[in-house]
Amino acid sequence: MFPACKYTLQARQCLCSLKVLQREHLPSLICATRWSSSSSTTPRITSHYTVYPRDKDPRWEGVNMERFADEADVVIVGAGPAGLSAAIRLKQLAGEQGKELRVCVVEKASQIGAHTLSGACIEPSALQELFPDWKERGAPLHTPVTEDKFGILTEKYRIPVPILPGLPMNNHGNYIVRLGHLVSWLGEQAEELGVELYPGYAAAEVLFHEDGSVKGIATNDVGISKDGSPKDTFERGMELHAKVTIFGEGCHGHLAKQLYKHFNLRQHCEPQTYAIGLKEVWVIDEKKWKPGRVEHTVGWPLDRHSYGGSFLYHLNEGEPLVALGFVVGLDYQNPYMNPFREFQRWKHHPTVLPTLEGGKRIAYGARALNEGGFQSLPKLTFPGGMLVGCSPGFMNVPKIKGTHSAMKSGMMAAETVFSKLTNENLQSETKGLCVPEYEENLKNSWVWKELYSVRNIRPSCHGLFGVYGGMVYTGIFYWILRGKEPWTLKHKGLDSAQLKPAKDCMPIEYPKPDGKISFDLLSSVALSGTNHEHDQPPHLTLKNDNIPVNNNLAIYDGPEQRFCPAGVYEYVPKETGDGMRLQINAQNCVHCKTCDIKDPSQNINWVVPEGGGGPAYNGM
C-alpha cells in the first residue's frame, strides 16, 4: 500500500507550488464573507456547487478561484487495474524506445487499492501479457483454483450443477485474489517505472480546449463547509493538462457520465445495466478451510425473476480466510427488496452456514457492477480522451470477471496512444488528440470476441423462466454454438425504470440479524473503514430536494433506504412533526454508486467528495 503522501519528486514539487500560490492569493475576507452569510432560513439537503453554482453565491465573492496548472503527456483518471495497466504499458514502451513520457495517475482513494473491491477470481491472461515474469516479481496471486462448484439453491437444499469444460463458470487456470492487494502491487510496479501517482486527489472536473476537445482534468477543491461556504482553509484543486486523458474511473464514473452526454457516446448502444455486489471476508475454522475452492450459486433467497447469485472463495494467504458475497441485478422490480439483507439471509442457508459457524467476519464492502456487456458498450474515444476498464463496461457477466478485460483495454489504450504521441508526422484536427485506432484495435482483440460470444446470456434471463431460462439458453447457444447465434437480445432498459409502485408489491419480511452469522448495516459499514470529512457538502447531490419525499417515498416507499448498502439514506420525521424528510448520511458512503443508478426519479447525482474520503478496504 502507498501512504497518501508518497509521490514522485516532480509531483511533490507540483503540489507544493499549488499550496504556496493559493496561500499567497487567498483573500483575508473569506472568513467574514462566510460568517456573514452562513445563516439560512430553510436548511436544504443539497449544498454542492454542482447544483448551486458559486458564482451566484454571495459568500464566494472575492474568493480567489485561480488554479495551479501542470502538464503531462498522458493523464489517467483512476488507479484501478485498467488505469494502472495503461500507465505501466506506456512507460514500458517509452523505456523500450528511449522516449521521455510523463504519465500522471490521479486516484480518489487515500491509498492505491483502498477503493478496490471485487470477488475476486481472475484470469491471469492480461497480467501475463503485461508482466510475463509476474511470479518472479512477487505478484500477489497466491491461490490457484483447485475445485469448482456450482449449484441452485432452494430454501433448504442445494442442487449441484456440473461445470462442463467451455462453460463461462469454468475456473480452471484462474486465481483467487484479494484484488486490492493486486492493485497495490501494480501501483508499485508503475512507480518503479516512473509513473507519477497522486493518491488522495479526486478528479472532479473535465477540462476542455476552446475547440471542444478534452484538455485534462481538475482535482477537487478542499476546505468547503457543509453549507457550501468557503472555510478559511479553502484551496482550489489543481489542473492537470495532457495531450490525451484516459478515463478509468470504474463502474458508473462521475466524469464518464459527463463525457457520455457531452460527446453523445451512448448514441448507438443500449443503456448500461448494473448489479450491486456485497462482500465480506471471514476467518473460519481451519478444519473447514479448503484453499483454492470456488463455489457459486443462483436461486434462493432470490426469486427466478431477480437476477443474482453468490460466491464463496477459499483463499490461501497464510490463514484460513474465505471471501464471500452476493450479487443482485439492479433491474429488480420490488421496491421492498434490500440487497444487503438478502445477503445476510443467504448466509443462513444450510449449505453455507456450516462454513461460517465459529468464524469471525473481518471486512465488509459493496460496489456496483456493469452487466450490460456487448450491447451497452459506448463509443470509447473522443477528441482528447478515451474510456478504459469498467468505466465503459468490459465485464464478462456469465464469467463474473472483468479484471482481465479491464487490464487488456488499458494496455491497448496505452499502445495506441504511444504510437500517436511518438508519430513525428502527427497531424491533429483538435488540440486534444483523438485516437480512434484504440476502439478499432479493441474490436479485433480477444476482449471484443469474448464479450460478443456471451452477449445474449444476461438478457436471456428476462424471459418467463427467468434465471433458469438463462441457464438453459447458455447450455444450448453458448456451450454448443459458442455465441454464434445470428441474433442479439436486448436488455429491459434503464435499471431506474424497473421498480413497480409499492402498492403493487408485497413487503419482504427479513429475519433479524443474529450478530454471529448475519449482522446489521451500521456494524457492517464500520468494517469498511469508511470515513469522510464531516464538514463538507454532501457528495450525494439532489437535483431537486423535494422529489425524494414527493415521489420516491410517496410512490415507492423510499427505496433508497433499502438499496443503499451503507445506510446513507434515511427518511426521518420532520422536526415540526408534519411529515417526513430525507436525511443523507454522506459520511457512510462506500462509493458504490448504486443510488445514482437505481434512483427511480434519477434525482441523485453522485459526485466525488474531498480526495482521500470513502472506504479504506484492505485487500477487498
Of the listed 381, 403, 474, 594, which one is catalytic? 403
Is residue 496 flagged as an active site residue? no
Of the listed 104, 121, 251, 595, which one is catalytic? 595
DSSP secondary-structure letter at 221? P
* Long-range pairs for 263-270: beta carbons < 8 A, 24 or more residues apart: 263/379, 263/382, 265/378, 265/379, 265/380, 265/382, 265/387, 266/378, 266/379, 267/379, 268/379, 269/375, 269/376, 269/377, 269/378, 269/379, 270/372, 270/375, 270/376, 270/490, 270/491
Is residue 416 flagged as an active site residue? no
Of the listed 184, 474, 564, 594, which one is catalytic? 564
Cell of 54: 458559486
What's the Cα-to-Cα distance from 538 to each of 30, 38, 250, 469, rounded to whole Å?
21, 17, 21, 43
Residue 546 CB-density burial (10 A; 0-12 exposed, 13-18 middle, 19+ buried): exposed
Of the listed 121, 251, 434, 592, which one is catalytic? 592
Of the listed 33, 562, 589, 594, which one is catalytic? 589
Residue 299, phi-psi category: left (phi > 0), alpha (psi -120 to 50), beta (remainder): left
Is residue 461 flagged as an active site residue? no
Tally of CA atoms within 13 A in the half-sphere of 524 that contains its CB: 26
Q: Is 529 in contact with 618 (CB distance < 8 Å)?
A: yes
Is residue 118 flagged as an active site residue? yes
DSSP secondary structure letters along 276-311:
EEEEEEEE--GGG--TTEEEEEEETTS-TTS-EEEE
Residues 6 or more apart whose Cβ sits within 8 Å of residue 357: 285, 516, 517
Other C-beta atoms lying within 10 Å of the C-beta of residue 600: 21
Of the listed 118, 143, 460, 541, which one is catalytic? 118
| Closest alpha carbon to 21 in 65, 75, 71 | 65
Of the listed 236, 367, 458, 562, which one is catalytic? 367
Is residue 121 flagged as an active site residue? no
Is residue 581 flagged as an active site residue? no
Whether omega before 398 lies within 30 degrees of 0, making that bond cis, reads: no
Helices 81-97, 403-421: axis angle to 10 degrees equals 40
Is residue 31 flagged as an active site residue? no
Which residues are marked as active site? 118, 367, 403, 564, 589, 592, 595
